[in-house]
């Protein structure tokens, strides 16, 4: 299976934060033949290990999150309309009149749409107003609360953008959940490569959980692995569309990206300034592998690497990414060339990883 085929398979797999089981099963199945050990912890982190040839060497964790953002049912009205709450950073601007699916505990998928006031009935003063999530509702075709219940939808049922995967020109893709199924697809590519070319460093390829929700699932994996260094693979928001001015200069199609600074102050209060030595390992690999590498420093964005760095005596961490437009919508757009570049970069990083390096500071 090629990178793009696996990416499509993963993007079409609904797996909201806390409901990652379908992705856990698929990524475990896809990794298991290429690694020495594989296990799934209680939270749902899939931890696959390829033992390095250097027995005294350090451990490197490379991880991508298996979950996606979504919504959750918080109530059902007598007339069958379903009220929802956000799970993760869902932009309310894109919700009205969008297609969704609801996943019942019995494994059934129910189609629905998020309602909006019919255009013909919208007063002019409301035309440009975005409704907060508390005013949004899902219509599954039910006319009573009983019908909703009979369909298997209850408080706590997960609601997701209807999965889609479309080819654009220039080897670009528009899909749901590129965040972070792109990273998951790259993880499997790395496993395939290092099955044939065993690295010096012991490599832990980890599919993490709950990134979009509380960012801390990966921490639990790192507590078990105790890696010296860890690399997060996730998308980064690109700023190359006509509506973004003064963004982070990241462009789709210009290659993978290394994070030099992320920070999120609203509530989360975390971020990542990469370990300087690990950052130089990434940049050196880009030179030797001849991969064009972009850099970004972005406020308002962070990944689960922010929490992995805080494990044990500290873990040297860095974010690597591929550029994506329209992040956290159902039509995220990226270039497959950037994902291929990211894979090439990471192969170079693992092959040349300084296995005796302690990553001590000062």
Please give the positions annotated as active site: 211
CB of 183 to Zn ion, least distance (A): 7
Q: Is 255 in contact with 341 (CB distance < 8 Å)?
A: yes
CB of 233 to Zn ion, least distance (A): 9
Give the rounded distance of the alpha carbon of 120 from its chain centre: 38
Q: How far apart are CA 185 and CA 181, in angstroms?
A: 6
In three-state secondary structure terms, 308 is helix
User: Of 355, 349, 29, 5, nearest to 193 (Cα)?
Assistant: 349
Distance in Å from the first CA to the final CA of the chain:
45
Does 67 participate in binding Zn ion (rule CB under 5 A)? no
CA distances from 127 to 120, 121, 292, 313, 348 (A): 11, 10, 44, 54, 51
For Zn ion, which residue of 179, 319, 332, 340 counts as binding (CB under 5 A)?
Answer: 179
Does 234 participate in binding Zn ion (rule CB under 5 A)? yes
- Give, as ranges, the residues between 80 and 109 that touch Zn ion (CB under 5 A): none
**CA-only gyration radius of the chain, Å:** 21
Considering beta carbons, is residue 8 or 179 the nearer one to Zn ion?
179
**Candidates 123-131, 151-159, 226-234, 312-320; binding stretch for Zn ion (CB under 5 A):** 226-234
Considering beta carbons, is residue 180 or 189 the nearer one to Zn ion?
180
CB of 78 to Zn ion, least distance (A): 38
**Candidates 1-9, 171-179, 236-244, 330-338; binding stretch for Zn ion (CB under 5 A):** 171-179
Considering beta carbons, is residue 300 or 312 the nearer one to Zn ion?
300
**Candidates 1-9, 95-103, 174-182, 289-297; binding stretch for Zn ion (CB under 5 A):** 174-182
CB of 180 to Zn ion, least distance (A): 4
CB of 304 to Zn ion, least distance (A): 8
Considering beta carbons, is residue 138 or 305 the nearer one to Zn ion?
305
Residues that bind Zn ion (rule: CB under 5 A) add up to a total of 3
Question: Please, what sign has the CA dihedral across residues 92, 94, 96, 101?
Answer: negative
Considering beta carbons, is residue 49 or 66 the nearer one to Zn ion?
66
Q: Name residues whose C-beta falls within 8 Å of residue 280's C-beta, 6 or more positions apart in sequence.
A: none
Where would I find the H helices in 169-266?
178-196, 217-225
> Which two structure tokens, joined as six digits, stand for 93?
């601007």
Q: Is 331 in contact with 324 (CB distance < 8 Å)?
A: no
Does 304 participate in binding Zn ion (rule CB under 5 A)? no
**Candidates 14-22, 136-144, 177-185, 215-223; binding stretch for Zn ion (CB under 5 A):** 177-185
> Which two structure tokens, joined as six digits, stand for 170?
């220039």
CB of 20 to Zn ion, least distance (A): 13
Considering beta carbons, is residue 20 or 234 the nearer one to Zn ion?
234
Q: How far apart are CA 333 and CA 327, in angstroms?
A: 8
**Candidates 95-103, 229-237, 242-250, 273-281; binding stretch for Zn ion (CB under 5 A):** 229-237
Q: What values do phi and psi take at 273, rounded to 5?
A: -105, 115
For Zn ion, which residue of 180, 189, 304, 332 counts as binding (CB under 5 A)?
Answer: 180
Element spanning 264, H or E? strand 257-264
Considering beta carbons, is residue 88 or 227 the nearer one to Zn ion?
88
The DSSP 8-state label assigned to residue 124 in this structure reads G
CB of 286 to Zn ion, least distance (A): 22
Which residues in this chain contact Zn ion in the complex, by CB under 5 A? Answer: 179-180, 234
């Amino acid at each position: 299976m090629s990178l793009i085929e696996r990416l499509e398979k993963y993007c079409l797999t609904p797996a909201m934060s806390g409901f990652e089981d379908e992705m856990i099963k698929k990524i475990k199945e896809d990794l298991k033949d290429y690694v020495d050990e594989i296990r799934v912890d209680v939270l749902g982190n899939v931890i696959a290990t390829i033992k390095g040839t250097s027995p005294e060497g350090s451990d490197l964790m490379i991880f991508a999150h298996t979950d996606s953002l979504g919504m959750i049912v918080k109530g059902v009205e007598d007339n069958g309309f379903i009220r929802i709450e956000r799970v993760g950073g869902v932009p309310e601007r894109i919700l009205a009149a969008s297609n969704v699916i609801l996943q019942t505990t019995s494994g059934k998928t129910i189609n629905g749409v998020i309602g909006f006031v019919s255009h013909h009935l919208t007063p002019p003063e409301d035309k440009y107003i975005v409704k907060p999530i508390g005013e949004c509702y899902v219509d599954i075709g039910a006319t009573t609360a009983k019908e909703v219940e009979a369909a298997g939808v209850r408080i706590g049922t997960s609601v997701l953008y209807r999965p889609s995967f479309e080819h654009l020109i220039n080897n670009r893709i528009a899909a749901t959940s590129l965040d972070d199924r792109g990273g998951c697809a790259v993880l499997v590519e790395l496993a395939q490569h290092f099955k044939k070319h065993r690295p010096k460093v012991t490599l832990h390829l980890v599919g993490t959980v709950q990134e979009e929700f509380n960012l801390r699932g990966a921490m639990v994996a790192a507590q078990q692995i105790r890696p010296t260094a860890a690399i997060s693979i996730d998308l980064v928001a690109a700023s190359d569309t006509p509506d973004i001015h003064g963004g982070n200069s990241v462009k789709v199609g210009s290659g993978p990206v290394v994070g030099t600074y992320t920070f999120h102050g609203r509530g989360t209060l975390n971020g990542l300034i990469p370990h300087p030595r690990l950052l130089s390992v990434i940049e050196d690999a880009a030179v030797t592998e001849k991969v064009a590498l972009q850099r970004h420093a972005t406020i308002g964005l962070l990944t689960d690497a922010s929490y992995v760095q805080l494990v044990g005596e500290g873990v040297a961490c860095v974010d690597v990414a591929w550029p994506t437009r329209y992040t956290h919508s159902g039509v995220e757009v990226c270039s497959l060339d950037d994902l291929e570049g990211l894979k090439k970069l990471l192969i170079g990083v693992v092959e040349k990883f300084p296995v005796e390096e302690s990553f001590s500071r000062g």
